[in-house]
Amino acid sequence: MDLHSRQLTLGSGIMPSVGLGTFTFFGKHGSPDEMESAVGLAIDAGYRHFDCAWVYGTQGVVGRMLEKKINEGVIEREDVFITTKLWNTHHNPKLVLGELKESLNQLRTNYVDMFLMHYPTGQRDQGFSGELALSTDTKDYECYPLEDVWKEMERCHQLGLTKNIGLSNFTIDQTKIIFDCCTIKPSNIQIEVTPYFLNERLVKFCIGRGMTVTSYCPLGSPTHPVRLAGEKGPLEDPVLMEMSKEKGKSVAQIILRFLIQYGTSVIPKSVTPSRIKENINVFDFELTEKEMQSIKSLNKNKRLYNEIRLKHHPEYPFDAPL
């Protein structure tokens, strides 16, 4: 990837390097109205990539604002890259297509640009309801062969309902299973990557296989429960704060720029107008090799999103060697 590139090349088209995250922790860190207006502000600020998921419960407001901006002639549908994700409770091959259709309905579009398997961990179907879908009960684990779920993801692609299909929160071994069975390759993987969690082996493996990598919680998710309990994240890191002063850029901009130069796309979430603008304004400066190395040395190999409620699931992905 060109260091100054605003986009990554995919099997089918391009993915803008910066997208807006739309997970509000079920309204705790952004009301539906705030998320809707964030999407509008983001479009005005130049965002053309929106990261959604069925389970976030925000697709309705994202879709409403995208439709409004299309109707106003500000953007055309083809200008925006929309990702959505298959939730754990819909791994049953009979449910995959239905979930995507439900997402398309909420997003008010007839296709998405990327449809990802959100996790490799299937759970019992509890209906199309966000809250029920977060069961912590091991009795609700339900495994379908990853190959069978992928076949349905491929069907969604063949039906023209998604331009690309991909993975999220998969290990190297689970990704290999998909490569070994697929007729359509996964073109993207969305995983946690931050200066504190470089996820190096997985990133290298996926890029080596021709996939693009998207870094989720790129800023270290300051409103994640672990952070709210007091664990400091990269936004408060002294080395990054010093670099921010030297370069005249915010810590968030330094982190996002780092992750783009590291070879990934980034999907910071914000409902704050100034931050929405700040987070996409990362293409007018560059980090030197020395600065990149100094940020890499902050790696703690400690992930934030460990989905402890799925810990005993046979496909639990977060114990794999780093």
Ligand X SMILES: NC(=O)c1ccc[n+]([C@@H]2O[C@H](COP(=O)([O-])OP(=O)(O)OC[C@H]3O[C@@H](n4cnc5c(N)ncnc54)[C@H](OP(=O)(O)O)[C@@H]3O)[C@@H](O)[C@H]2O)c1
Nearer to ligand X among residue 158 and residue 252 (C-beta): 252
- Contact string 148-187 vs ligand X (x = CB under 6 A): --------------------xx------------------
Tokens linked to 206: 């996926």
Nearest residue to the partner ligand X, using Cβ: 21
Helical segments of the chain, H only: 32-45, 59-71, 93-107, 146-158, 172-181, 200-208, 225-228, 238-247, 251-261, 273-280, 289-296
Amino acid (1-letter code) at residue 33: D
String of contacts with ligand X for each residue 118-137, x by CB under 6 A: x-------------------
Count interface residues toward ligand X (CB under 6 A): 32
Sort strands 7-10 and 13-16 into parallel, antiparallel or unpaired: antiparallel
* Residues 114, 172: Cα–Cα separation, whole Å: 20
Binding mask 213-242 for ligand X (x = CB under 6 A): ---xxxxxxxxx----------x-------
Task: Check residue 113 for interaction with ligand X (CB under 6 A).
Answer: no
CB atoms within 10 A of CB 235: 20
- Cα distances (Å, whole numbers) of residue 184 to 51, 98, 165, 173: 22, 20, 8, 18
Provide CB contacts within 8 A for 8, sequence distance 6+.
Answer: 1, 14, 15, 17, 212, 265
Options 10-18, 22-30, 176-184, 281-289: segment touching ligand X (CB under 6 A): 22-30
Segment interacting with ligand X (CB under 6 A) among 126-134, 149-157, 241-249, 270-278: 270-278
| Binds ligand X (CB under 6 A): choice among 57, 186, 268, 317 | 268
Nearest to 72 by CA among 43, 105, 93: 43
Segment interacting with ligand X, rule: CB under 6 A, options 10-18, 103-111, 140-148, 271-279:
271-279
Please give the distance of CA 254 from its chain centroid, rounded to a whole number: 19
Write down the least CB distance from residue 310 to ligand X, Å: 11
Tell me the C-alpha distance between 108 and 61, whole Å: 10
Task: Say whether 47 is catalytic.
Answer: no
> Contacts for 241-245 with beta carbons within 8 Å, 24 or more apart?
243/291, 243/294, 243/295
Cα dihedral: 241, 252, 171, 224 (round 10): 90
CB atoms within 10 A of CB 76: 9
Please, what is the minimum distance in Å from the beta carbon of residue 67 to ligand X? Answer: 20
Rule CB under 6 A: choose which of 7, 17, 18, 23 binds ligand X: 23
Out of 56, 119, 141, 196, the active site residue is 56
Residue whose CB is less far from ligand X, 158 or 301? 301
Residue with Cβ nearer ligand X (212 or 270):
270
Task: Return the range that interacts with ligand X (CB under 6 A); candidates 40-48, 129-137, 195-203, 272-280.
Answer: 272-280
Per CB under 6 A, which region of 130-138, 155-163, 266-274, 293-301 contacts ligand X?
Answer: 266-274
At 3, give phi and psi (nearest 5°): -60, -25
| Binds ligand X by CB under 6 A, chosen from 8, 15, 17, 30 | 30
Site for ligand X in 293-322 (CB under 6 A): 305
Instruction: State which H helix or E strand residue 314 sits in.
Output: none
Binding residues for ligand X (CB under 6 A): 21-23, 29-30, 51, 118, 168-169, 190, 216-224, 235, 250, 252, 267-272, 275, 278-279, 305
Positions marked catalytic: 56
